[in-house]
Amino acid sequence: MPDDARLRTVDEHLAVVLSSIGSIEPIELTLLDAQGLLLGEDVRADFPLPSFDNSAMDGYAVRAVDTRDASADQPVELRVVGDVAAGAKTRSGMGPGLAMRIMTGAPVPAGADAVIPLEDTDRGLARVAINRPVRSGECIRRSGEDIAAGAPALGAGAALGPQQIALLAALGRDRVLVRPRPRVIVLSTGSELIEVGRTPSFGEVIDSNGYMLAAAAKDAGADARRIGIVADDHAQLLDVLESQLLRADVLVTTGGVSMGAYDVVKEALSELGTVEFNRVAMQPGKPQGFGHLGDKVPIFCLPGNPVSSLVSFEAFVRPAIRKLLGKRQLQRATVQATALEGARSPHGVRQYRRGVLHREAGGGYGVAFAGGPGSHLLASLALSNCLVVIPEEETEVVAGQSVTVMPLLLSNR
């Protein structure tokens, strides 16, 4: 591409990416594996909740009419004809003028229409004195009052957190259809790269991007795997990518996409005609490759500099993973913060600066820049907790100005 060609904006590139991201067929998972995912089916209640009338309190099951004249001064006394505990397998019954001791959650006996809590009685065992009239239905949790048999419980697309998982379990669903975690494969390219755990010789660099991007993909909700390193070698790269196609919903490579003589990712994949290499109006992260391999597996070819690859991941890969998960909110939320120092930013380019965001004592946020503009600076990247996004048209940030900040919150998935 000639150098004076108009750069693609970040938004244009993201639109190209997202328009080609489809969805993954729902799969069945056990409840705890489904946590954090979106439901892939409409779930109805096969039976009502509660499934039987039961007591809301520890107390005595009674007939409300029998307590009509009760007061603290003149309690009504009823004969206690038995106990009902939670877990009672058969429904007990009792006649008029009688009471049964009943525990929370225990089935209400036939013949009773109310429960008087222990604290409104003398707690008697053979006979019980009741200090006040009870309303019919009092302290009884009716079958179906939570959800009726056949009623819709959760719709497809519902996010499964602890509350939703509780309802599914209560309704007897130990497995549900969900939108699965996309399988993301991360491949680092570069002949200088070695595996962590080895001591680098002169000229060697430990692959940190592979770990960073696999962690970022996991954080975004993917089932992420790092498959290691390939040298700057055309044939080897294509072989390794080919071997991963059946295992991946998304492929991510780093390195080898700039203008250098050994930028093999760009050379090798451009030839296939299904992956395009563009220059995007952002800093860092200008060179970006995106396209498809095999049977429409999206592939992101990110630049190799660590900061560039993380920023690229945030700008393009994370939203794609979120779309595959079925999420509605694809972009990270941003906040406005007061810049504690000034900065320059090139015109026409969206700049992402690493920042340290903190909450000000008086409310609101302040943000300091972390590290210089160098895209190789890992130590300052590790100190940062956000990206400061300086829009295309802005060329300067002055101290005290409000800026847009994207906190890089951990998902705790």
Query: DSSP characters for 312-350?
Result: HIIIIIHHHHHHHHT-S--SPP-EEEEESS-EE--TTSE
Nearest residue to 394 (alpha-carbon basis) of 354, 358, 345: 345
Q: Which is nearer to ligand AMP, 206 or 330 (CB)?
A: 206
Q: Which is nearer to ligand AMP, 40 or 255 (CB)?
A: 255
312 binds ligand AMP (CB under 6 A): no
Q: How many residues does the chain have?
A: 413
Q: Which is nearer to ligand AMP, 235 or 261 (CB)?
A: 261
Contacts for 2 with CB less than 8 Å, ≥ 6 apart: none
- Give the type of residue at 343: A
Q: Which is nearer to Mg ion, 289 or 304 (CB)?
A: 304
Q: Which of 26, 182, 291, 304 binds ligand AMP (CB under 6 A)?
A: 304
Q: Which is nearer to ligand AMP, 45 or 257 (CB)?
A: 257
Buried-exposed string 245-260: b where 16+ CB fall within 10 A, e elsewhere: eeebbbbbbbbbbbee
Could you tell me which stretch among 35-43, 144-152, 303-311, 386-394 binds Mg ion (CB under 5 A)? 303-311
Smallest separation, CB 189 to ligand AMP (Å): 7
Smallest separation, CB 269 to ligand AMP (Å): 14
Count of positions on this chain that bind ligand AMP (CB under 6 A):
19
289 binds Mg ion (CB under 5 A): no
Dist. CA 413–CA 410, nearest whole Å: 8
- Give the type of residue at 215: A
Q: Which is nearer to ligand AMP, 33 or 267 (CB)?
A: 267
Count of positions on this chain that bind Mg ion (CB under 5 A):
4
Say which residue the tokens 């008087």 belong to.
116
Could you tell me which stretch among 41-49, 198-206, 222-230, 250-258 binds Mg ion (CB under 5 A)? 250-258
298 binds Mg ion (CB under 5 A): no
Q: Which is nearer to Mg ion, 43 or 230 (CB)?
A: 230
Q: Which of 255, 289, 298, 326 binds Mg ion (CB under 5 A)?
A: 255
Apex 30 CA angle, 181 and 32, nearest 5: 75
280 binds ligand AMP (CB under 6 A): no
306 binds Mg ion (CB under 5 A): no
Evaluate whether 320 touches 350 at the Cβ level (below 8 Å): no
Q: Residue 5 class from Cβ within 10 Å (0-12 exposed, 13-18 middle, 19+ buried)?
A: exposed
Evaluate whether 106 touches 97 at the Cβ level (below 8 Å): no
The span from the first CA to the last CA of the chain, in angstroms, equals 41
From the list ligand AMP, Mg ion, none, partner contacted by residue 9 (C-beta under 5 to 8 A by kind): none
Smallest separation, CB 305 to ligand AMP (Å): 4
Q: Which is nearer to ligand AMP, 258 or 270 (CB)?
A: 258
319 binds Mg ion (CB under 5 A): no
Dist. CA 83–CA 40, nearest whole Å: 45
Q: Which of 303, 326, 355, 371 binds ligand AMP (CB under 6 A)?
A: 303
What values do phi and psi take at 90, rounded to 5? -125, 155
190 binds Mg ion (CB under 5 A): yes
Nearest residue to 325 (alpha-carbon basis) of 228, 406, 253, 411: 411
Site for ligand AMP in 177-216 (CB under 6 A): 188, 190, 192-193, 205, 207-210
260 binds ligand AMP (CB under 6 A): yes
- Give the residue closest to ligand AMP by C-beta: 304
- The DSSP H or E segment spanning 183 is strand 183-189
284 binds Mg ion (CB under 5 A): no
Dist. CA 192–CA 54, nearest whole Å: 70
From the list ligand AMP, Mg ion, none, partner contacted by residue 306 (C-beta under 5 to 8 A by kind): ligand AMP
The residue ranges that bind Mg ion (CB under 5 A) are 190, 255-256, 304
The residue ranges that bind ligand AMP (CB under 6 A) are 188, 190, 192-193, 205, 207-210, 254-258, 260, 303-306
